[in-house]
Structure 1
Amino acid sequence: MNFDTTPFHVLNHILDSAQPEKDSSKSSYVRDAKAMAATPADVKEYADAYSFVIDMPGLKSGDIKVQVEDDNVLVISGERKREEEEGAKYVRMERRVGKFMRKFVIPENADLEGVSAVCQDGVLTVRVQKKPPPEPKKPKTIEVKIA
C-alpha cells in the first residue's frame, strides 16, 4: 500500500473526503454533464440590435462556433479541452472541460445578414442587427365611379 504524505496528496484527500460521490460510477457522468451544461448568457435588446454576451474564459476563436440554423435559431457551441503538459500530472482537476452549446430563437425582425461575433478578454459578444421597421402603408385611394 502506498502512503503518499506529500502536502498535495493530503490536501487532495481532504477535498475528496468532502465529496463522497467522487468514487461512484455516476460521478464522471455528472462531471461531464456539468461541463456540457448550458453556459450562462446575457441577452440584451437595443433599438437597432440584439446582443448575446457569454463568458468564454481561456477559449480561442477556433474553439467557438457561431451559426444560424433554420433561419431563426442562433447556435453558439464549442469545446473547452484539457491542456496536457509533458512531464506534469494533475493533482486536482476542477476547471470544466467538454462541449457546450446554447441555442436562442431569434425574433422575426432580426437581420440574419447582420450577425457579428467578437471574443475579447474571455467574453463572447454576438450582435444581431434588427431589420429596419417597415414603412407605414399609405392608404390606397379608390376612385368612385358614377353610374
Structure 2
Amino acid sequence: MASTSVDVKELPASYIFVADVPGIKNSEVKVQIENDSILKISGERRRDDNPTFDVKYVRAERPAGKFMRKFNLPSNANLEGVSAACQDGQLTVVVPKIPPPAPYKPRTFDIPIGTLVYTNPK
C-alpha cells in the first residue's frame, strides 16, 4: 500500500490536514472519521494506461495503487464540523476545535448597609 505526504497544522480554532493527491479525482479520495477519534484519508492512484496499446514501462517512479493515512484526533476535535476540499492536487481537511469552557468567574454580591437584627431564641 502506498502512502501520501500530509502536513498537519494547528491553528487557534482548528486543525488543518493538507495531503498531496496529484492526478487523483475528487471521487477517488475518501475522508472518514473512525471510532469517533481517527481521521482516515484514503484513495487510489491509477496509472494512465490505455488498454488499446501494449504498454511497457521503462521507468515508473510515480507511486500507483491504494494509499491510506490515519491520524488520531485530539479530544477537543469537533467531529460534526469536519470539512474537506480538493484543488490543484491538494486535499485540505479542516477539523474545527471545540471551544474550551469559559473560565470560572466568582460571582460578586452587593451587600446593602443596614442594621442587623438578631433575635436570641429561648
Range class of TM-score, shorter chain: 0.7 to 0.9
Please name the residue that 2:68 is paired with.
101
Runs (4+) of structure 1 exceeding 6 A deviation are none
Return the index of the structure with the highest Cα Rg: 2
Higher helix share: 1
Does residue 136 in structure 1 map to residue 103 in structure 2?
A: yes
TM-score, normalisation: structure 2: 0.78
Q: Is the 8 A contact 2:2 2:65 kept in 1?
A: no
Which fold has the larger relative contact order, with Cα–Cα distance below 8 Å and residues 6 or more apart in sequence? 2
2:27 alignment partner, SS class: helix
1:113 alignment partner, SS class: helix
Does residue 82 in structure 1 map to residue 47 in structure 2?
A: yes
* 1:102 CA displacement: 0.4
Question: Which residue identity lines up with residue 18 of structure 2 in the other structure?
Answer: V
% identical equivalent positions: 55
Question: Which residue identity lines up with residue 74 of structure 1 in the other structure?
Answer: L
The gaps in structure 2 that reach 5 residues or longer are 108-122
**What's the Cα RMSD here?**
1.8
Q: How many residue pairs end up in the alignment?
A: 106
Please name the residue that 1:66 is paired with.
31
TM-score, normalisation: structure 1: 0.66
Q: What is the CA–CA distance in structure 2 between the aligned matches of 1:138 and 1:92, rounded to whole Å?
A: 70
